[in-house]
Chains A and B, each alone.
Chain A
Amino acid sequence: MRRLFLPVGITVLAIALGMMFFGVSEGATKSGNPAPVRLTADPGPTSAASLASGEELFAENCSTCHGAEAKGSALAPNLQGLGSATVDLWVSTGLMPLSVPTAEPVRKPDKFTNQQTLELANWVQSLTPGVGVAIPTVDLKGANVAVGFDMFAANCAPCHTITGAGDALSGGLEALPLHGVTATNVAEAIETGPGNMPRMYPGALTKTEANDVVAYVTEDIEHPSSPGGLGLGGVGPVAEGFVGLFLGVGACMLIALWIGERTEREDPEQAHDELEPTHV
């Protein structure tokens, strides 16, 4: 059964190398993901022209459901008074606009440029000046990532899971994955409480603690170290157990098969003769 040697060896090697490769490439894409900090200090789109542009974008993309004045309709909630942070969060994470009005919001690439998103957000904010949550300024210098982890574990991980992979909630709802969001997005979610998520600041977190959480999410959740190579999506023991049992034990069985298999150049008649028990 010599011919088993090559397939078995190749399989074992492929599994091992595959895990290494996926581990490396996953790490590479994760660390290559930019998490830009969007600063409100950038005065850009508050001019009359940019507000007009924001109004136009809103009329084209949002007014069907939210109404021309963003006051909401039977299809969608009132946006007036929420502030620019909510608009920026939902649009820049791709949750809005929906592909069809009845669809569930899902994460997808931002439909607009950074500038357009800010114009939209600032136009909605301009309807109710000073009301609602403005896009927060994020400054992670001096943030305490350790405190951020503690606060994340206590307040965010119950729904988003400790790796930030997100998880199912009740009735088909989902706590969204935190991978691929900006630091500003994290701060906006903490301060506005989008959808079913409760507002965490003010309340459960102080402003400093909220900033620590943003730092933890930006530094660790967005860039998991995955010391074992393959992170497997960080979804927990089911995926990890599957790989351990199916691939790990499977590889061990293939190796054992190869080691224990009889070599092929045995003459059948002679082997049979020599295996007869003999006594002196």
Chain B
Amino acid sequence: MSDHSSNGTPVPTDAPQFEVAARNPLRAEKMTAALFLLSVASFAGFGAAYWQNGSNFWLGGTLGFGMSFFGAGFVAWGKYLMPRGPFEEPRAMMETTPEEQKALIDDFASRGKVAVKRRGFIVGVMALAGGIFSIVALFPLLRSLGPLPKNAFYTTPWRKDAYLTQSDGRRVAVSDVPIGSFVTVFPQNDVGGALSQTILIHVQDGAIITKPGRETWGPDGYVAYSKVCTHSGCPVGLYEQLTGLLLCPCHQSMFLVAKGAEPIFGPAPRPLPQLPLYVDDSGYLRAQTGYDEPIGPGFWERGGTL
């Protein structure tokens, strides 16, 4: 801010521009002082809270309020108690004249031709360096796309004879789960694995409508489905025991447990893949084989409904 008027002479100190902006300066001053006082109180409160080992709530609250009032005080001071202006400072024009422009062009055209000669070999080598660099720079870019998935989309760690194992390492025996309950299980060599997570549900034996070819997959009313939703891969973990529905928390797909986990509502395009089970001689539940289809959401190579 310069205290000069538009004609370059200093603004007299009794000019209207030097009056404070507030209509009632005394009131504005009181208000500004009040803001700073609130700031003082808040900062003091912060000190007290710190000294008393106060919670983050009080530490952050007092510090935040203190800084807010501190800033508000400055803004109020600047807005209401400073000269209201406006003041102007003259400056020179910055446009170039047509003569100056013409002189620059002439100079460049005449002297430039002399300075930069045609050097074909150097130009070629320079282009080679630039070209090689552009190609090599692609390598890390391509590598950052990661390895090809190969058959990772098609298989899970579930194998023939794998034990159904809970997250705490317990193997599930046929007598462990009451009817109406469910357990999240993994193969024993991949406990906690995201691709392996499988929901084991004990329904009333005979309540299952078995799909052709799956007659032996659900012994004693136990059925196991991949917990990875066929829509976008969320864990389908909401089981309603009375309605026999599995719900996906992300997009509200509903799967009918008794009927091969067919989707009856929501965006899921396919049933959840079912894991074939059997009960071994010791009464433990085990997998007959791994999943017979890719689990989770669709992908291009899978074909069919994505």
Tell me if B168 counts as interface (CB < 8 A to partner A): yes
Q: Mark A167-184, 1 if CB is under 8 A from B, else 0.
A: 101110101000000000
Q: Mark B57-89, 1 if CB is under 8 A from A, else 0.
A: 100010001001000100110011000101010
Instruction: Please count how many residues in chain A sit with their CB below 8 Å of the partner chain's CB atoms.
Output: 46
**B92 and A280 contact, CB distance less than 8 A:** yes
**B86 and A278 contact, CB distance less than 8 A:** no
Q: Mark A234-266, 1 if CB is under 8 A from B, else 0.
A: 000000000000000000000000110001111
Tell me if B37 counts as interface (CB < 8 A to partner A): no
The CA of A45 and the CA of B229, in the complex, are separated in Å by: 49
**A23 and B184 contact, CB distance less than 8 A:** no
The CA of A203 and the CA of B166, in the complex, are separated in Å by: 10
Residues of B within 8 A of A275 (CB): 86
Partner of B243, one of A196, A203, A206, A259: A196
In the complex, the chain B residue whose C-beta lies closest to that of A266 is B84
**B21 and A263 contact, CB distance less than 8 A:** yes
Beyond A229-B61, A265-B21, whether A278 also contacts B90 by CB under 8 A is yes
Partner of A158, one of B23, B180, B235: B235
Partner of B265, one of A23, A170, A278: A170
Rounded to whole Å, the gap between the CB of A15 and the closest CB of chain B is 12
In the complex, the chain B residue whose C-beta lies closest to that of A261 is B79
In the complex, the chain B residue whose C-beta lies closest to that of A270 is B16
Tell me if B178 counts as interface (CB < 8 A to partner A): yes
In the complex, the chain A residue whose C-beta lies closest to that of B264 is A170
The CA of A173 and the CA of B243, in the complex, are separated in Å by: 10
**A198 and B241 contact, CB distance less than 8 A:** yes
- Chain B contact residues: helix, strand, loop or mixed: loop
Inter-chain contact total with CB atoms closer than 8 Å: 108
Residues of B within 8 A of A280 (CB): 90-93
**B88 and A274 contact, CB distance less than 8 A:** yes
Rounded to whole Å, the gap between the CB of A45 and the closest CB of chain B is 28
Rounded to whole Å, the gap between the CB of B72 and the closest CB of chain A is 7
Tell me if A209 counts as interface (CB < 8 A to partner B): yes
Rounded to whole Å, the gap between the CB of B22 and the closest CB of chain A is 7
**A227 and B265 contact, CB distance less than 8 A:** no
Residues of A within 8 A of B90 (CB): 278, 280
Tell me if B161 counts as interface (CB < 8 A to partner A): no
**B178 and A199 contact, CB distance less than 8 A:** yes
Cβ < 8 Å to A, chain B residues 128-181? 166-168, 170, 176-178, 180-181
What size tier do the contact residues of chain B reach?
35 or more
Q: Mark A187-226, 1 if CB is under 8 A from B, else 0.
A: 0000001011111101110100100000000000000000
**B170 and A206 contact, CB distance less than 8 A:** yes
Tell me if B272 counts as interface (CB < 8 A to partner A): no
The CA of A198 and the CA of B246, in the complex, are separated in Å by: 12
Tell me if B239 counts as interface (CB < 8 A to partner A): yes
In the complex, the chain B residue whose C-beta lies closest to that of A158 is B237
Rounded to whole Å, the gap between the CB of B20 and the closest CB of chain A is 8
Tell me if A159 counts as interface (CB < 8 A to partner B): yes
The CA of A258 and the CA of B31, in the complex, are separated in Å by: 15
**B240 and A170 contact, CB distance less than 8 A:** yes
**B178 and A278 contact, CB distance less than 8 A:** no
**A263 and B79 contact, CB distance less than 8 A:** yes
Partner of A265, one of B22, B93, B202: B22
The CA of A274 and the CA of B84, in the complex, are separated in Å by: 13
The CA of A274 and the CA of B90, in the complex, are separated in Å by: 12
**A169 and B240 contact, CB distance less than 8 A:** yes
Tell me if A232 counts as interface (CB < 8 A to partner B): no
Give the one of B181, B182, B184 with max A CB within 10 A: B181
In the complex, the chain B residue whose C-beta lies closest to that of A157 is B237
Q: Mark A142-179, 1 if CB is under 8 A from B, else 0.
A: 00000000100011001100000001011101010000
The CA of A118 and the CA of B75, in the complex, are separated in Å by: 65
The CA of A197 and the CA of B237, in the complex, are separated in Å by: 12
Tell me if A131 counts as interface (CB < 8 A to partner B): no
Q: Top 9 nearest A-B pairs by Cβ distance? A: A158-B237, A263-B21, A196-B240, A203-B181, A203-B177, A198-B181, A199-B181, A204-B183, A198-B241
Further pairs besides A154-B184, A170-B240, A193-B241: 13, Cβ < 8 Å: A158-B238, A193-B180, A193-B181, A195-B242, A196-B240, A199-B180, A202-B177, A204-B182, A204-B183, A259-B79, A263-B84, A266-B84, A270-B16
Q: Can you list 19 A-B pairs, Cβ within 8 angstroms, ordered by A?
A: A2-B22, A23-B57, A154-B167, A154-B184, A169-B240, A170-B245, A170-B254, A196-B242, A202-B177, A203-B177, A229-B57, A229-B61, A263-B79, A264-B23, A265-B21, A265-B22, A270-B16, A271-B86, A278-B6
